[in-house]
Amino acid sequence: MRVIFLSPRYPNEMRQFTRGLAEVGVEVLGVGDGHPDPELRRYLSDYLEVPSLTDEDDLIRRIHGWLRGRSVDRILANWEPLVLTAARLNEMFGLPGMSVDTVRGFRDKQLMKERVAAAGVRVPKSSRARSIDDVRRALEETGYPAIIKPISGAGSADTFRVDSPDALADILPQLRHVAEASCEEFIQGQEFTYDTVCIQGKPVYESVTQYLPNALEMRSQEWVSPIMLSVRDMTQPHIARGVELGRRALAALNMGDGMTHMEWFLKPDGEVVFGEIACRPGGACVVDLMNYTGDVDLFREWARSVCWHAFEVSTERKYNVGIVFKRAKGQGRITAITGLAQFYDRYRNHIVEDTLLRPGAQRRDWKATLLSDGYIIVRHPVWQTARDMAIDAATDIQLYAS
């Protein structure tokens, strides 16, 4: 099988999906806006370097010319800005894959909510805004607090909580570059994800992860050490309700083959509320958490599922897995780490990955990447133990920069 994979270099986890394709026997034709290094190149049979992946018309023309005289079986993308481009290319070449209309239902947050709500799923009250006046009218109807986010955004980028008209005046200048926004009811509650690998719309692998704190707080407060904690026991009543919510959302949006990433809320009264869903894998190491939860390789199984409608690993969940992202205090280069040696003394047998920046490394922009200044991953079969370890990493380990 010959497959075009868009953007195999970026984001970084796309390298793993490229590897997964090659390891299940796929001939991978990569298309990206930079040059692949030797490690990535060994998984590619050919590569087209383009000036920009965001100029869709130019990208499609270049791919069309590059393929002249050759056939391909699939065109795939797992990076949010390119999933619609892949759908357009598949339609153009008459290849299998979800239609442009189906993918638009995942990309357009307002359309997404309308389609999911029509299937009887509880969604936040929301409306589309194309101007400042639209935003003001929408929030008059929604009330405060409210959430404003880009219609076609990814993650929590350019997402704001608005608590009053005065706060809105401060936020609006930060949204000038956003063509369309979704203005929606603020849902108070614990935030979880529902992640899947799907074959012909049916989940063959499901996972739930809790955000501590909620995603918006993770992205807006520098002092926070964000935690994502995968759930081993999916039979718990409140978790099972979230899984059922996710399955109904997939059906409502006519999901096809691939990975999905949904966010949902558990309110204090026990109600579960849909947040949003994407027809691509979660970022910020979500797939790594899923892999560590069951000792599997979902980068490879995703490839097998989208190419041959097969899934060959166990779905047994062995561990609760926590990832803790750290942000240094200060700016510049990392000068010290405290608490890490003691953390290793306590939990060494349960630490599965450590990418924390060491002294001498340049601190990263925490607003640009949730990966921040590195992370540590722990796991344990008992939920409370895994949670306690993650919280200890968040509170006891400190990085300093100057």
* Whether residue 206 sits in one domain with residue 330: no
- Check whether residue 338 and residue 226 sit in a common domain: no
Task: Compute the distance between CA of residue 213 and CA of residue 265 in angstroms, rounded to an integer.
Answer: 12
Last residue of a domain, one of 302, 318, 334: 318
CA distances from 173 to 74, 131, 132, 163 (A): 41, 12, 10, 16
- From residue 83, how far is each of 79, 147, 178 by CA, in Å? 7, 25, 19
Backbone angles phi, psi at 258, to 5 degrees: 135, -170
279 and 263, same structural domain?
yes
Three-class SS state of 29: strand
Distance CA 118, CA 86 (A): 27
CATH of the domain at 237: 3.30.470.20
pLDDT attached to residue 122? 94
Q: What is the pLDDT of residue 157?
A: 65
For residue 258, which amino acid is it?
G
Nearest to 127 by CA among 153, 147, 144, 145: 147
CA distance 102 to 149: 21
Assess whether 23 and 35 both reside in one domain.
yes
State which amino acid sits at residue 371: L
Does 162 share its domain with 209?
no
| One domain for residues 116 and 222 | yes
CATH number at residue 174: 3.30.1490.20
Calpha distance 63→40 (Å, rounded)? 20
| Cβ contact 191:296 at 8 Å | no
> What total number of domains does the chain contain?
4
pLDDT in tens, the chain (402 residues): 999 999 999 999 999 999 999 999 999 999 999 999 999 999 999 999 999 999 999 999 999 999 998 999 999 999 999 999 999 999 999 999 999 999 999 999 899 999 999 999 999 988 888 888 888 888 888 888 898 888 766 655 678 888 888 788 788 887 777 878 888 889 999 999 999 999 999 999 999 999 998 888 887 788 999 999 999 999 999 999 999 999 999 999 999 999 999 999 999 999 999 999 999 999 999 999 999 999 999 999 999 999 999 999 999 999 999 999 999 999 999 999 999 999 999 999 999 999 999 999 999 999 888 899 999 999 999 999 999 999 999 999 999 999
Residue at which a domain ends, from 318, 334, 359: 318
Q: Residues 109, 231: one domain?
A: yes
For helices 298-308 and 14-23, give the axis angle rounded to 10 degrees: 60
Q: How many residues does the chain have?
A: 402
CB 63 within 8 Å of CB 31 = yes
Strands (E), 117-253: 126-129, 146-150, 160-162, 181-185, 190-199, 202-212, 227-230
Are 347 and 380 spatial neighbours (Cβ–Cβ below 8 Å)? no
Look up residue 165 and give its two tokens: 């008209």
Q: Are residues 108 and 247 in the same domain?
A: yes
Q: How many other CB atoms are there within 10 angstroms of residue 387's CB atom? A: 18
Residues 232 and 112 in one domain: yes
User: Coil, strand or helix: which one is 261?
Assistant: strand
Task: Please tell me whether residues 136 and 12 are part of one structural domain.
Answer: no
Number of H helices, E strands in the chain: 14, 18
* Residue 324: its H or E element: strand 320-325
Which structure tokens are listed for 11?
């984001």
Domain span including residue 345: 320-402
Q: Tell which of 273, 289, 318 closes a domain.
A: 318
Q: 46 with 166, same domain?
A: no
For residues 372 and 321, give the distance between their C-alpha atoms in angstroms, rounded to a whole number: 19
Residues 172, 310 within the same domain: no
Residue 92 sits in a domain whose CATH number is 3.40.50.20
